[in-house]
A and B are shown apart, each in its own frame.
Chain A
């Protein structure tokens, strides 16, 4: 896929960094012209540093992180688990497979007010939002993988009179794992979105809560700083997801290059 052409890597990184620096300078200049609407990077950084010093930012990060992790873990357990069940049961797949697709198209944001009304704004309700956001890509990818276990390998297992558990250990799980991992990669991104849905619309806690209250105060320095922070975290999470996806399929690495 990648047609590497002529861009050499170190030069590319240098240009990227120059682009970032340019953006920062532009931001600083613009911020100095209109300090009310657009805080300068320096002031945004100071705002973040202040929140680190008084402990609000670490506490919020912890809150957000916990919600994200618990919701994601539930989605992985549910998605991979039910995915594997679906892959082995024709009956369940035939009857509930299409429901998965139907439910997947319901936007979770829109459900937030209903979840709030029915289940309140406790940790459980917020976790539910994160879970619902992340579970579908994981589930769907897992089923896709398990359903397309290569026929020859199933024959190999049968010729060697493999039992059911060795069949899972040697064929189904290793084959499905990379599919599940790419589901989990998408799930990580979706869980992050879900975390903000929960913090914005159920209960203003964590980073989402800090963003909302700063926005209500028109504190553009804090909002801008937090927004940049969120985007950095999101990019890191995406990188992590890609790493994970690769790490779990070492036998594929050669073929993807």
Chain B
């Protein structure tokens, strides 16, 4: 199937890419005297993937939590499809760095958790859970507990749980940061493949510059303490983003550019 067919398939129901628009409008995050992020403005179009990179402590995770409604901005606002975020909006899924699985729930129960909270009928929960588990390649492990699984399989479970809400927006909090290099690589391309089939809005926080370029339609570079938007880079790489793209010269050039932005000392001690 060509890229074009795939895109067409996925977009039968909605014009262009799916997902919601996310508007981060002048967000400042303060904790007591400490300012973690200052006046951040990012607009994410429906179906767009925006990567956020920056050195540790630049407030990228804090920003993600504000979009998730876990933290309230001290100034500014976050809107999802034009609605101000107050608590997590419906249709927002989140994938956590350390998976955030319930150790006392099986894979099945972990994936079904959001559906149970919504009080869906049992049969529907079972059917959708089965489908999601199949989608992330965990069929046969329904009854396993997280501790019986490898890190990669745990994060597959976390991903399935995030997808269970049929998200308009997927928030990724360094989702592959706790995995070994090989596993992370495999999961990256699998997630990209899934996204190509059903493109939704994604805000992708990561430490890895490769990952940021590989996923992002744009890459936002945060810098300084408190973190500010240092630069936004358009990533004009073709879709689908597969291994061939990752080997291309264009990719290498972009990676180099983001790397030098992240490493450049200038905007360092602004606050």
Q: Which chain A residues have a beta carbon within 8 Å of chain B's beta carbons?
A: 152-153, 155-156, 158-163, 166, 170-171, 174-175, 249-252, 254-255
Contact = CB atoms under 8 A, between A and B. Distances in A.
22 contacts: A152-B98, A153-B100, A155-B65, A155-B68, A155-B94, A155-B96, A156-B94, A156-B100, A156-B102, A158-B70, A159-B92, A160-B88, A160-B117, A163-B117, A166-B117, A170-B102, A174-B104, A175-B104, A251-B146, A251-B147, A252-B103, A254-B148
Contacts of B88: 158-161
Interface of B: 65, 68-70, 87-88, 90, 92-94, 96, 98, 100, 102-105, 113-114, 117, 145-148, 165
Contacts of A156: 94, 96, 100, 102, 113
Contacts of A166: 117
A153 B102 contact: yes
B174 to A, nearest CB: 12
Given A159-B70, A159-B94, A171 B117 contact: no
A240 B172 CA distance: 45
Top 5 closest A-B pairs, CB basis? A152-B100, A174-B104, A251-B104, A156-B100, A251-B145
A250 B113 CA distance: 19
Given A170-B113, A251-B105, 13 more contacts: A152-B96, A153-B100, A153-B102, A155-B68, A155-B94, A159-B68, A160-B117, A160-B165, A161-B90, A161-B117, A171-B102, A175-B104, A251-B104
Nearest to B68: A159
Contacts of B113: 156, 160, 170
Contact of B145 (A153, A158, A254): A254
Contact of B117 (A152, A162, A254): A162
Contacts of B65: 155
Contacts of B100: 152-153, 155-156
A213 to B, nearest CB: 49
Contact of B87 (A152, A153, A161, A254): A161
Contacts of B93: 159
Contacts of B117: 160-163, 166
A170 B103 CA distance: 11
A160 B102 contact: no
A175 B100 CA distance: 13
Contacts of B165: 160
A153 B90 CA distance: 18
A252 B147 CA distance: 8
B126 to A, nearest CB: 18
Nearest to B97: A152
Nearest to A163: B117
Contacts of A255: 147
A155 B70 contact: yes
A159 B94 CA distance: 7
B83 to A, nearest CB: 14
A161 B70 CA distance: 10
A174 B102 contact: yes
Contacts of A251: 103-105, 145-147
A151 to B, nearest CB: 9
A175 B105 CA distance: 11
A159 B64 CA distance: 12
Q: Which of B98, B102, B114 has the most CB of A within 10 A?
A: B102
A156 B105 CA distance: 14
Contacts of B102: 153, 156, 170-171, 174
A11 B100 CA distance: 44
A252 to B, nearest CB: 7
Nearest to B87: A161
A141 B148 CA distance: 27
Contact of A254 (B70, B90, B147): B147
A152 B147 CA distance: 16
Contacts of A158: 69-70, 87-88
